[in-house]
A and B are shown apart, each in its own frame.
Chain A
């Protein structure tokens, strides 16, 4: 479904992505793991069409993203790392905007927004302003915003950052539901246990390069657990650089 070939990106002197290649099959859940500044967010930005690569290409269903980005964007749902919500508006108003951007008709949009809110367990809070929500509720609504146009591929950039275990668990449930519905998920995270629980396969990325591309089971078998694999492959030094 998703094909990434020789993807490169440079920010000034810093090489954020160094000719990475990987593929994600339809219905697969792939974890993109890496320390801060490894290039995870840059990769997500290229795949979602919001940033241009310096080299290489991204194809979705055999069609290059740069050929007709707007057609392909209708098949991709992005859950950004920073909350993509208007605090001053209600959950419903936020979803009306995000669905409207994809050209959904009023009735269709209402139905899709109802479904998305039900999935993330926020149906009862639809008319409340987002600023009254807890961190976990905002994260769930952030996911709902990416589902309205029923995308085939959902890109999740650290969707559980900064929330309590209960909320994280609720989000796992949401993502497992999406998985069961056959959606393809590409998921970036720092948390190994999340990857172990959700992902069929993981890519370990550091300094813009892919260090491992294997199933969770194989990596666990090879390194005892996913965290050990991650630490051995990426090294133990502190990363002070910002996430690219």
Chain B
């Protein structure tokens, strides 16, 4: 083994990498900037209260107690960013993509809903104007709207003025119908509800019943409360959106460097330098080893700088296993180096190879969840993504950072990455033309 030659080749490749300072800057700074952007969009370091809020508009053409109360509930919800608009402006803003949806409470909404609650007839229609590109947001809004509507409508029905009127009207309707055992029971129930409502109103006004015998807030509401808890490395550590975005961008831009290394090898073959390398006492295996090690070192350099920025500026922490984090980083950089070698052996011309390689890389990082987390994919795509080594690299890095997983959880990603590297290396060795 010509160790001196291998070292000379590695040193030379590293020199070549640093000789293009602009490329070095792009390879390190650009992923940091893009990761910062994506990280902010996906919630940042838990400090950005507005991040992730769904923008919706409310059009209140009723201005009733019920509609005003629902609007207030929606406004107070942490998931939503509510703007009150008129119908035309709301439609325009949804159309322009500024609001995910707009809920329109029509005139007499409050009165009709309380009546409809008892009679089941003449339900008012709440129009929900939806941006078709924001279907997930629209579903969230539908759910929250149903929750707050039930809460406020039942409150008004059983304790409010319009509720008592609705009960009276419905009792009047029942009186006009032929008596049946069911209508008699219903009448008794409504009379009880009417009585309770009167007692509560009287209590509120300081009259009889003010002793608190009537439970305040007689409201139909969801019979449980929800306590969303971020399951991260520790209960006290909030989710850091930057941790995932830095994993994704590190993977993407290290792969870009791998492509560059492959293209450099292709170009070297086409230049006189190839003849000089071939005329030296250098074996094929030594040359391949040197190239793989040099590209791995360059990848590790990028990896280290990108994560240094993530830790120092964006408060990303290695909450899990340090050996796991380093192991995934090294395994991925080795994979990247062999991937670059494979490209160089499969490609013929530099421009065509670069084009195909970029396409393959972008597909790998996209499917691997580098841009958006894989859980937003449809189930079939999530299953497909398991065949992309990028997915394992990103999951491994996520595991070592915000998920805080132990080393045992990093073993499988490392095995998959090393295995993929072995496949790429095997193809590279098989296809590598040492002699002309």
Contact = CB atoms under 8 A, between A and B. Distances in A.
A89 B11 CA distance: 12
A102 B5 CA distance: 6
Interface in B1-47: 2, 4-5, 7-9, 11-12, 15-16, 19-20
B280 A101 contact: yes
A98 B16 CA distance: 14
A133 B275 CA distance: 21
Contact of B8 (A45, A48, A69, A97): A97
Given A100-B4, A104-B4, A93 B15 contact: yes
B283 A80 contact: no
Given A84-B273, A85-B273, A88-B16, A48 B279 contact: yes
A74 B16 CA distance: 25
Contact of B277 (A49, A76, A101): A101
B279 A96 contact: no
Interface string B60-99: 0000000000000000000000000000000000000000
A26 interface: no
A96 B279 CA distance: 16
Contacts of B4: 100, 103-105
A82 B280 contact: no
A105 B3 CA distance: 11
Nearest to A142: B272
Contact of B281 (A52, A71, A80, A88): A71
Interface string A35-78: 00000000001001111100000000000000001110110101
B283 A70 contact: yes
Contacts of A3: none
Interface in B264-323: 271-283
Residue among B5, B7, B8, B271 with the highest chain A CB neighbour number at 10 A: B8
> On chain B, which size bracket covers the interface?
20 to 34
B16 A50 contact: no
A102 B280 contact: yes
Given A73-B281, A86-B16, A101 B5 contact: yes
Interface in A179-204: none
A207 to B, nearest CB: 21
A101 B281 contact: yes
- Identify whether the interface residues of B are mostly helix, strand, loop, or mixed: helix
Contacts of B185: none
Given A96-B11, A97-B12, A103-B2, A86 B282 contact: no
30 contacts: A50-B278, A50-B279, A52-B435, A70-B2, A76-B279, A78-B276, A78-B279, A80-B275, A82-B275, A83-B272, A84-B271, A84-B276, A86-B12, A86-B16, A89-B12, A93-B15, A96-B11, A96-B12, A97-B8, A97-B9, A97-B11, A98-B276, A98-B280, A100-B8, A101-B8, A101-B277, A101-B280, A104-B4, A105-B4, A142-B272
A103 B272 contact: no
Nearest to B277: A101
A81 B279 CA distance: 13
B436 interface: yes
A89 B272 contact: no
A145 interface: yes
Nearest to B270: A82
Nearest to B8: A100
A105 B16 CA distance: 21
A12 B11 CA distance: 38
Contacts of B8: 96-97, 99-101
A69 B278 CA distance: 11
Given A50-B279, A73-B281, A101 B9 contact: yes
A80 B272 CA distance: 6
A89 B280 CA distance: 20
A76 B275 CA distance: 13
B11 A100 contact: yes
A76 B281 CA distance: 10
A89 B148 CA distance: 69
A89 B19 contact: yes
A61 to B, nearest CB: 16
Interface in A20-36: none
Contacts of B272: 80-85, 142
Contacts of B19: 88-89, 129
Nearest to B276: A84
B261 to A, nearest CB: 14
A145 B280 CA distance: 11
A106 B19 CA distance: 22
